[in-house]
Structure 1
């Protein structure tokens, strides 16, 4: 029996521009900002870094989603993170080289009547899978961009001051039957073992807090659609956990970040939907999305609050050894 929610794909108008398509390589050749390795609060953290002074203190832009070059099937050591603007400037990506701790911002855009327009979504999660970047858009569903479409332009008012733009190609609208609460696409991750998209809802009080899985096509790396252009979840579970900010699956277990305000340390929950167990004092305040890097057995996350913004790794093996709060055996 199908779940009462689904995604419906729509192709977006192509972007017309005066720039040159350069792909990821073009952005990596011009990383213009430097992050700083630093001590990150939280007992689960192995190591991490913070952004430059402007980005870590900005009250206009807030970091949200995270994915890795491992999600994309690449051999290099890159992160991609998302930010949303509280100043109505849209959403952007940061490509980060972990070797040099240098990075660059890229504005996410869509075609408008007069050229590129910023894509205004919360961008609470991102999955870089093959050539595609899947972006969480909360009640609107997902947007998808192709990294080959990264374009270098002349910075100016028409490009909102950015040298690199990434247009979105597809919108996946969130749909639901009349008797079902529409799913909010608050965050995203990739389950490497089965090649599925893991999505979930941030919820408080009476809001739903569900976790879902969607199939990804192994050839195209896009969502698997039926003949009508719709994607239905393979599973839809009640997470039974408020304030979820991110969820990923490693070795068959969900790892979920939960925020507890600006001052209190965040929590990491591990287990199965409906039976998630807390690791207290695990994360810095304001943890967001989470991703898994199989080759290093590390979980990666980031935090959002101005003045205490971190990007950090957690060693899953060390968590297994040191934190006995979980009631069932580890994989």
Structure 2
């Protein structure tokens, strides 16, 4: 792996007491079944956005997924190089860090406070139809300064672990057949993008109060250079910009609920969900979504059925999607969850500088808890290798880490 810059000195984490790896807690079950069914609907969004995307296809050059991976323009940093830590609390894990440069702030992914990494997914999640030959990771970052940029996605080519490279692309919302904008929520703030899932050629991105948005990796568009890094969409002269990001990925649909979430839910069986993270369960062909609640238990983890032929969620009458299973967790501060063959993994954090926690469990059991780097977020499980991936969020403490043999 080529290291082109020395990162700022990594802050020394302050550890919290966490059970040793593989230890079993005597606490209440980590997950209990919840007798409830939740519903979201696509509300004609695929038709609305589909028409806009089709029109924009005629105005912009399309780029295959492999092209974006192949045009990586940044080098990741090896464990132990620069400020990338030589050791992390998870002793069996491997990891790498983001490119950073103290003397080149616009390109400092390791330490920037303008963007915060959140979600992670991989080509193993995509399965058939993912459109890549790379062993690739996608990582979401939200615009922490709320400058209208929304969400960017890192395309990380991990085909050669000794030379990990990546580049960023921007998520956009088509507003018409000839324009798009950054992805924001109704109050104008950036979409938090706390979790992402790559299913076929679709990229699912959670929308905290509303549900999940769907973007299409078969319609990645090239955009024009913008040295000012200030332009978005159609400039009126036949050029399209994206704050100087050279690839954009358009929204093509969404699944939304009625009402907005409250944490914790007064009535967990009926109240709207909070959409904080998302994973893929290949064993049950479902999305796994869940809630972050600060300092309190009770977050709900929900499975949603995926249509294998389309990569969309399974809809009934009127475009409605019903959940197929729901649970509540006794853990607090859960920032990611996924499952496979009845085993669940949940990540939780307790603030910058404190070790995170990875919980492995089955429904009705307390399971095991082990330490992770500070600030673990979303989770992605590769059933072929048994690897579990996550990303941590804090500036100068950011790692992308892999836990091998996660199923035990």
TM-score (ref. length: structure 2): 0.73
Q: Following the alignment from structure 2 to structure 1, what is the Cα–Cα distance between the partners of residues 295 and 275?
A: 18
1:50 aligns with 2:102: no
In the alignment, which residue of structure 2 is the partner of 1:137? 207
Structure with more of its chain in strand, by fraction: 1
Q: What is the match of residue 124 of structure 2?
A: 70
2:268 counterpart of 1:204: no
- Alignment match of 1:302 (pick from 391, 395, 407): 391
CA contact (8 A) 2:69 2:155 kept: yes
Q: Which moved more, 1:52-61 or 1:196-205?
A: 196-205
State the distance in 1 between where 2:282 and 2:347 align.
18
Q: Cα–Cα, structure 1 residues 250 and 37, in superposed 2: closer, same or farther, change >3 Å?
A: farther
Structure 2 unaligned runs (5+)? 1-33, 80-85, 101-107, 185-190, 233-241, 261-265
Structure 1: stretches of 5+ with no match in the other structure: 321-331
**Which moves more between the two structures, 10-19 or 248-257?**
10-19
Name 2:115's counterpart in structure 1.
Answer: 61
Deviation of 1:277 after TM superposition, in Å, equals: 3.3
Aligned length: 318
Q: Counterpart of 2:183?
A: 119
1:282-301 to structure 2, matched below 5 A, reads 282-301=371-390
TM-score (norm 1): 0.90
Q: Is the 8 A contact 1:267 1:278 kept in 2?
A: no
Asked if 1:22 is matched to 2:85, the reply is: no
Larger radius of gyration: 2
Higher RCO (CA < 8 A, seq sep 6+): 2
SS at match of 1:31: coil
Aligned to 1:163: 246
What's the offset of the Cα at 1:207?
7.4
Question: Are the aligned partners of 1:239 and 1:274 in contact in 2 as well (CA < 8 Å)?
Answer: no
CA distance in structure 2 between the partners assigned to 1:207 and 1:257 by the alignment: 13
Render the CA deviation track for 1:269-309: whole Å, top value 9, x for unaligned.
Answer: 111346443423x2000000011011211100010000010
Please say if 1:175 is aligned against 2:258: yes
CA distance, structure 1, for counterparts of residue 295 and residue 76 of structure 2? 37
- Structure 1 residue aligned with 2:72: 31
- Check whether the contact 2:296–2:332 (CA below 8 A) recurs between aligned residues: no
